[in-house]
Amino acid sequence: MNKPVLDIQDRPTVGQWVTLSLQHLFAMFGATILVPYLVGLDPSIALLTSGLGTLAFLLITKWQVPAYLGSSFAYIAPIIAAKTAGGPGAAMIGSFLAGLVYGVVALIIKKAGYRWVMKLLPPVVVGPVIIVIGLGLAGTAVGMAMNGPDGKYSLLHFSVALVTLAATIVCSVLARGMLSLIPVLVGIVVGYLYALAVGLVDLSKVAAAKWFEWPDFLIPFADYPVRVTWEIVMLMVPVAIVTLSEHIGHQLVLSKVVGRDLIQKPGLHRSILGDGTATMISALLGGPPKTTYGENIGVLAITRVYSVYVLAGAAVIAIAFGFVGKITALISSIPTPVMGGVSILLFGIIASSGLRMLIDSRVDFGQTRNLVIASVILVIGIGGAVLKISDSFQITGMALSAIVGVLLNLILPGRPQAAENLFEENQSDHVA
């Protein structure tokens, strides 16, 4: 490990603090606002809750885990389905319950260790489910890219999406340093400018917006009745199966970056509890579920600035941005094909990251067991299978594929042993 410029507990100067915190804000910004844009939530709430969630995470992890929490892509399809079934309030209830699952898992890990999690969620299950998440959203991305407001094909709108996609790809592949970590933001900016040039941007709402504006909160009991139904539970809660595995993966990578075993100290149970708490805070205010962001881990790796104070600074700035009406209006003015162009790459990357997990974990598809599990998950998830018990209880698509994958892994013979020490095994795999 290279010597850190600022270690985890080091305090930056005021000038460093602002600059380095803004870097983290830019790294998470594009992806964090994309999720509420896609599911019809207020982007200002997403920014506000990402900041509040990050501060809660840092507090729960005793200021020992430098991580930033932004909007989770895994919940896009479930939130849309939950909103269709019961409105925005139903999606928030489901998000809160998913966060509650994190709390339960954290409590069990504290008492019983984490090996059981790895038995429940091995790569052969999680990898294909992540692929399902990405490919299941492919139609949404292409529709946003190709169609105009009337829902019909528009070459002009598609050109905006293609320019956005091209800019994002070029930045991802050719950019160096900080620019390589914000390809989504760069793509959105380039696509926005092109859309502005061809007349697809309406800036009237930006001009009319106030500088200080109260976000559009969604408060339980005040803005919607709290009713927990099996349909909402089965739409949202099973997604935690995937995001828990994603969280563990991020903690392993982060441990490698900072040179400390964060799985042991402050403990996986603390970071999982912090992640779940951030999701519950977000749900109580009307924001999307939260997850630790790989983009911000990338910033840590490049800058070698691991200070939790820098992450806290980014969180405070994000909270402040949530109350700036001009910023919210500017985000809302982004044309749909711009977000569609970015989504084509992002959703593809989600699917590809599932493939990468299978490759990095050396999952052997020469074994019939692994082939069966992955195949069933992919077809059930992408095919949109539904297990309908009654009108009020059904399990659909991705949730069903995740549950079936976990059950197959537990039932079929030949299950491999889970690692005794995740960090040490990850380190040895990395060296090899």
Q: Which residue has the higher pLDDT, 254 or 277?
A: 277
The C-alpha R_g of the chain, in whole angstroms, comes to: 21
- Angle 336-360/155-174 helices, nearest 10 degrees? 40
At 155, the pLDDT band (50, 70, 90 cuts) reads very high
Give me the chain's average pLDDT, please: 88
Give the number of other CB atoms < 10 A from CB of residue 52: 24
Structural domain contains residue 170? no
Q: For residue 389, with 0-12 CB atoms within 10 Å meaning exposed, 13-18 middle and 19 or more buried, which class applies? A: exposed
On whether the CB atoms of residues 192 and 334 are closer than 8 A, the answer is: yes
pLDDT(191) > 70: yes
According to the model, what pLDDT value does residue 418 have?
Answer: 61
Structural domain contains residue 107? yes
What token pair was written down for 421?
A: 């020490």
According to the model, what pLDDT value does residue 432 have?
Answer: 33
Rounded CA-CA distance 323/314 in Å is 15
What token pair was written down for 50?
A: 């990402």
On whether the CB atoms of residues 134 and 354 are closer than 8 A, the answer is: yes
Mean pLDDT of all residues in 136-164: 91
Which amino acid appears at position 383 of this protein?
A: G
Mean pLDDT of all residues in 371-379: 96
Mean pLDDT of all residues in 162-189: 85
pLDDT(374) > 60: yes
Q: Which residue has the higher pLDDT, 179 or 205?
A: 205
Residues paired with residue 224 on neighbouring β-strands, in sequence order: 220
Structural domain contains residue 36? yes
Proportion of the chain above pLDDT 90, given as a percent: 47
CA angle 380, 385, 389 (to 5 degrees): 130
Domain count, the chain: 1
What token pair was written down for 152?
A: 């019909």
Mean pLDDT of all residues in 26-50: 89
Phi, psi of 415 (to 5 degrees): -70, 130
Q: Closest Cα to residue 124, out of 299, 326, 372?
A: 372
Element (H, E) at 34: helix 14-39
Rounded CA-CA distance 274/68 in Å is 11
Query: Which range, 1-15, 44-58, 385-399, is most confident?
Result: 44-58
Structural domain contains residue 91? yes
CB burial of 174-207 (b: ≥16 within 10 Å; e: otherwise) equals eeeeeeebbbbbbbbbbbbebbeeeebbeeeebe
Q: Which residue has the higher pLDDT, 390 or 359?
A: 359
Structural domain contains residue 196? no
Lowest mean pLDDT among 47-56, 59-68, 207-216: 207-216
pLDDT digits (tens, 9 = 90+) for 201-244: 989 888 888 999 888 899 999 999 999 988 888 888 888 887 88
According to the model, what pLDDT value does residue 422 have?
Answer: 57
pLDDT(178) > 80: no
According to the model, what pLDDT value does residue 428 have?
Answer: 45
| DSSP letters for 335-347 | -HHHHHHHHHHHH
pLDDT(90) > 90: yes
- Angle 123-136/240-258 helices, nearest 10 degrees? 110
Question: What sign for the dihedral angle of Cα 32, 298, 353, 249?
Answer: negative
What token pair was written down for 341?
A: 């162009």
Structural domain contains residue 333? yes
Structural domain contains residue 234? yes
- Longest CA pairwise span in the chain (Å): 64
Structural domain contains residue 54? yes
What token pair was written down for 288?
A: 């999307």
Q: Which residues contact residue 362 at a Cβ distance below 8 angstroms, ignoring those fewer than 6 apart?
A: none
Residue span of the structural domain in which 275 resides: 12-144+204-364
Rounded CA-CA distance 98/237 in Å is 5
Rounded CA-CA distance 206/331 in Å is 9
According to the model, what pLDDT value does residue 28 have?
Answer: 86
